[in-house]
């Protein structure tokens, strides 16, 4: 564990928790940075803030419950959603998400929120998303039924690799689906790529989050920088 990153994640999470106002319905992202936000929000609720929240994964739901945050279903718009990312593009705040395997619920929550805020340490910030490859693929969640053929369709856009779990078996998402990690994609038109992935039969969703985040809180050793989408880089 990189202690500095842990500290930075906590700083970003705490800063995001300051955005939450009394009575808000809040979306809780997934992954270690999002869990830092859940911890900080839990502290605020113990100090008297009243919120209800929607969790994007079973792991986050468990953390929220133990932090004393009241969980509700995603049955209405949210005021704010806060989530981590695997890579965030300076300027546009386009992001790659889903290395933690929660991308389907993460997008549902992000799109339900009036304001979607990304939190990360500065190692996640890139000038162009394309730079993050080959290390960071685009995760694509697919139905288990016929997944090999879905994979063959996806190979028109990159090289799909079935994600495994630590036990050596395929990784299974909270939705009971598989993840194909797409490497070596053609990034010239990210919006076209995103639309094609979404339109592929057998695909539930993908981890390209374009035009969703309005703000990114990026923790650096010098402090937490507030980046707004569309602002000069």
Nearer to ligand 5RP, 50 or 162 (CB): 162
60 contacts 29 by C-beta, under 8 angstroms: yes
d(CA 82, CA 40): 12
Residue 100 is a binding residue for ligand 5RP (CB under 6 A):
yes
CB of 228 to ligand 5RP, least distance (A): 20
d(CA 57, CA 178): 15
Is the preceding peptide bond at 134 cis, omega within 30 degrees of 0?
yes
Nearer to ligand 5RP, 14 or 106 (CB): 106
Return the range that interacts with ligand 5RP (CB under 6 A); candidates 101-109, 142-150, 158-166, 173-181.
101-109
CB of 97 to ligand 5RP, least distance (A): 3
Residue 99 is a binding residue for ligand 5RP (CB under 6 A):
yes
Based on the residue annotation, tell me whether 106 is a catalytic residue of this protein.
Answer: yes
Residue choice 85, 125, 136, 213 for contact with ligand 5RP (CB under 6 A)? 85
Residue 173 is a binding residue for ligand 5RP (CB under 6 A):
no
d(CA 221, CA 209): 26
**Within 13 Å and on the Cβ side, how many CA atoms surround 120?**
22
Instruction: Retrieve residue 23's tokens.
Output: 């009575």
From the centroid of its chain, how far is CA 95? 8
181 contacts 161 by C-beta, under 8 angstroms: yes
Return the range that interacts with ligand 5RP (CB under 6 A); candidates 18-26, 41-49, 78-86, 195-203.
78-86
Residue 84 is a binding residue for ligand 5RP (CB under 6 A):
yes
Find the angle CA(109)-CA(61)-CA(210) to the nearest 5 degrees. Answer: 25
Residue 30 is a binding residue for ligand 5RP (CB under 6 A):
yes
Q: CB atoms < 10 A from the CB of 118, how many?
A: 30
Residue choice 103, 117, 216, 227 for contact with ligand 5RP (CB under 6 A)? 103
Interaction site with ligand 5RP (CB under 6 A) = 29-34, 83-86, 97-103, 106
Active site residues: 106
């Amino acid at each position: 564990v990189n202690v500095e990153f842990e500290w930075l994640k906590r700083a970003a999470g705490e800063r995001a928790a300051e955005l939450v106002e009394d009575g808000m319905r809040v979306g809780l992202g997934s992954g270690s940075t999002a869990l830092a936000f859940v911890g900080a929000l839990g502290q605020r609720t113990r100090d008297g803030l009243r919120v209800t929240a929607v969790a994007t994964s079973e792991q986050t739901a468990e953390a929220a419950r133990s932090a004393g945050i009241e969980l509700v279903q995603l049955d209405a718009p949210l005021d704010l959603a806060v989530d981590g990312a695997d890579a965030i593009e300076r300027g546009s705040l386009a992001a790659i998400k889903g290395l933690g395997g929660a991308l389907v619920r993460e997008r549902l929550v992000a799109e339900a929120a009036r304001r979607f805020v990304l939190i990360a340490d500065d190692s996640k910030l890139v000038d162009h998303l394309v730079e993050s490859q080959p290390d960071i693929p685009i995760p694509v969640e697919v139905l288990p039924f016929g997944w090999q053929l879905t994979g063959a369709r996806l190979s028109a856009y990159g090289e799909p690799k079935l994600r495994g779990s630590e036990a050596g078996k395929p990784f299974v998402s909270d939705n009971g689906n598989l993840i194909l990690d797409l490497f070596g994609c053609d990034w010239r038109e990210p919006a076209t790529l995103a639309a094609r992935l979404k339109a592929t039969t057998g695909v539930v969703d993908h981890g390209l989050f374009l035009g969703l985040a309005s703000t990114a809180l990026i923790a650096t050793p010098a402090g937490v920088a507030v980046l707004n989408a569309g602002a000069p880089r």
